[in-house]
Amino acid sequence: MNRLWGLAIGILSIAHVAIAENQPVPPVAQSQPFTVVTHGDSREDNYHWLRDDTRKNKAVLDHLNAENQYAAAIGKAWQPLSRQLYKEMSARQAQDNYSQPWQNHDYTYQSRFPEGADYPLLMRKQGDGEWQPVMDANPRSKGHAYYAISRYAVSEDNRYLAIAEDTRGEGQNQIAILDMQQQRWLPDTLAQTSGDMVFSRDGSAIFYVLNHPQTLTPYRVMQHVLGSGAADRQVYQEDDDSLYTGISRSSSGEYLIITLSGNDTSEARVLSLSVPQAEPKIIRARVKGQEYYVDHNNGQFYARSNIWDKNFGLYAFGYPEEKWHTVVAPQPDRELENFFLFDRWLVIARRSGGQTHFARLTLADGKWQDLTFPDNSYMARPGSNGNAAATTFNYIYSSLDKPLGYYQWDLNDGQSRLVHQKQVPGVDLSLYRSEFVNLPARDGESIPVSLVYRKDLFRKGENPLLTYGYGAYGISLDAAFSAPRVSLLDRGFVFALVHVRGGGEKGINWYLNGKKEHKPNSFNDFIDASRGLVEKGYGSPDRLYGMGGSAGGLLLAAAVNQAPELFKAVVLQVPFVDVLNSMLDKTLPLTQQEYEEWGNPNDPVAYRQIKAWSPYDNLTPRAYPTMLVTSGLYDSRVPYWEAAKYVARLRTVNRNPSSQILLTTNMQAGHGGRSGRYSRLEDSAQAFSFLIHLDNKNSQTPGAPR
């Protein structure tokens, strides 16, 4: 009774402050008793009713709309700023429509954005001929509140174009096929697919992957014969719900590669794309904890694998039964991340010292050459390299203060040249400085941090500081330029990417030490690095802000639970915050695939470990900072109800009468938010204007940058 009375007093005090300041009162989600018992442990989930798998429950939709209305009412204070930021961001983007061309035999393809358009126009040319329009996505987007083209595929003879379209943002793609020779769309449409697709060598059929009707996990490889009207043939079905099924064309063009991949286990099958009724043949049977990823060229298969070493090596072999031979041996502290096959060369991507490095092997003489980069912290990623006969390796390069550049590495002479430099109209790049620092964690580990700020607005110890993190799946949060972020830097913010454990920035051990039972290291790293940045003068202690999305939203929410006093405000974008409940529900997308990331709470030990840090389960009465929490109604990766439940419970325990907890749900989108290249900027403008307005309102530092 005392606890309930305290909660009631907290809610009333917040309401009284809102009334006194003549502000809207936040919606109050009804508390409906719902008890969850697991391993004899009882938990109350009184906002369980906010989950609606159909997305049609009136009470739930009414609540989400009420939250949107409340956020809009509070957000009126910074809407003029939001419109200004959107205008700035649009101006920086509108005049550079370049995308990297890609080759398919004697045709070259390129996506271009018509002036002011949200979606691309696909162009092509044959040889040195004139560019011709192929497909305009803008008319196809009409009538859809959300629209995205997930992938393109072109038949070997350049007659057919297949596109995978998502019209709700939930990862369910419909495949449509265009006869480019006759400029007509075929009646063939393939629904509920992952978006992966590969044409047979003669272009008469297309392979694709169906999603599971319940979990949306890609699981069935199908073969569709164009225009036949015949039932599609099932090529392969994966019954292990912990594995994703993906397909690709080998670099040689000879094989369809079926890859089954989980968090730490994979398996591959291949079939000939020249034989209409070919059956897939397994490369190597799966073993728990072992991964290998296959390609084929020059008459042999290659596999990047950790079977013999956690840092991965590269191996070559003949047909699946033959012995594997080492091409690139595993190396300590250097993880082999990827490889690319050419007719005369092999290019590999390795990660060491927190950065990606490329190296090429000339197959004729066995000589290696490394490609070096000028910055201490940067992003280097492969570009379009689907043509094995090419003599150049395409890659993209950027740093926090250098816009994206498209480069070609000449594999003959080893020279690299800039093909196109992204332009950022109205921005003087000389005004900005990036830095790379290492900060100590509480256990003695060294946490890398990438920073960027505007030099003429930087005053040591005074600036607003925004720390951003992710830290999951071994994904590296590489330091790349962001044109929208300039609006933040131009108002005095220092932006910091905190490369916490759980990511892949420092290799495989960095990832392993931030997953499952080691997940708390990620949260500790983020807190310790944020404090360390303030101590070094990169920001004012009362002007520290945090931001993260999806698994990064989990990172931020857990960090706030540990140290709510540290942050002035936090932005959580589609945050994975109800971890325990979601990981106990294997009917949800991703759950079974992610047991090896977060732990399987069906095991009592893992249950206790997750419960100890799951953000939703660790909300307790204390003073929380102001928060903006976003979600998408059709999000299949992190369902909208995680954010809705989190905000509902957070408001009941928040003891800070001056903080505001805002929830916005995009009622027509999924995990990625808005879909068009311009409309996506609205999400950035919303988040940045929220932070800038709050900083301007609360900062009392004389002469501090705004």
Catalytic residues, by residue number, are 550, 635, 671
Within 8 A by CB and 6+ apart from 288, the residues are 264, 265
Cα 122 from Cα 105, distance rounded (Å): 17
Report the distance separating Cα 566 and Cα 546, nearest Å: 9
> Quick check: helix, strand or coil at residue 307?
coil
CA distance 405 to 415: 16
Q: Nearest-5° angle of CA 101, CA 104, CA 105?
A: 125
Q: Quote the Cα angle for 230-236-239, to 5°.
A: 125
The whole-angstrom separation of Cα 678 and Cα 676 is 5
Cβ count within 10 A of residue 512: 15
Q: Read off the tokens for 588.
A: 């949800």
Q: Which two tokens stand for residue 454?
A: 């505007």
Q: In 80-95, which positions are buried (b, 16+ CB within 10 angstroms) versus exposed (e)? A: ebbeebbebbbebbee
Which structure tokens are listed for 4?
């309930």
CA torsion, ordered 320, 334, 337, 99, to nearest 10 deg:
-140
Tell me how far apart the alpha carbons of residues 546 and 319 are, in angstroms, rounded to a whole number.
51
Check: CB of residue 628 under 8 Å from CB of residue 571. Answer: yes
Spatial CB neighbours of 162, under 8 Å, sequence gap ≥ 6: 152, 153, 154, 175, 176, 177, 178, 197, 199, 206
What spatial distance separates the first Cα and last Cα of the chain, rounded to whole Å?
46
Please name the amino acid found at residue 121: L
Report the distance separating Cα 91 and Cα 85, nearest Å: 10
Q: CA–CA distance from 329 to each of 5, 315, 362, 382 (Å)?
A: 64, 8, 16, 21
**Beta strand 446-454 pairing with 416-421:** unpaired
d(CA 431, CA 424): 13
DSSP 331: B
CA dist., res. 635 & res. 614, Å (int)? 20
Tokens of residue 610, six digits: 């997750």
Which of 288, 333, 324, 281 is closest to 304 using CA atoms?
Answer: 324
Beta pairing partners, 4? none
Sign of the alpha-carbon torsion through 631, 632, 634, 635: negative
Q: Is 122 exposed, middle or buried (0-12, 13-18, 19+ CB in 10 A)?
A: buried
Give me the DSSP letters along 76-116. GGGHHHHHHHHHHHHHHHHT------EEETTEEEEEEPPTT
Assign 306 to helix, strand or coil. Answer: coil
Give the DSSP H or E segment for 595: helix 595-598
- Smallest CA-to-CA distance from 669 within 697, 640, 632 is with 632
